[in-house]
Amino acid sequence: MSSILRFIPLGFQWETRDPFLFCVHHEDQYPKGNGKLGPAASLSGRHLGQDFIVKDGWRMYHGQTPGI
């Protein structure tokens, strides 16, 4: 018996069981990291916390470092 239930093609938005949830993906080319789990690149000109514009190939959504 296979653990795989079915195959579906993945587009921009992925199918979910709940119509009020959505799941999407994108590809960012993040720069090399620094010792504080942040990017070793300038954050100048970014709207930290709302950085949805691809600048230099990547976005920084949640401030200067990931919330751990």
10-49 exposure pattern, b = at least 16 Cβ within 10 A, e = fewer: eeeeeeeeeeeeeeeeeeeeeeeeeeeeebeeeeeebeee
Range of the domain at 58: 33-68
Residue 61 lies in a domain: yes
Each residue's pLDDT tens digit, 41-58:
988 888 887 878 888 888
Residue 38 lies in a domain: yes
Residue 25 lies in a domain: no
Domain count, the chain: 1
Residue 11 lies in a domain: no
Residue 43 lies in a domain: yes
Each residue's pLDDT tens digit, 2-52:
899 888 887 777 878 888 887 877 788 889 988 888 889 988 888 887 878
Instruction: Report whether pLDDT(68) > 70.
Output: no
pTM over 0.75? The answer is no
Residue 28 lies in a domain: no
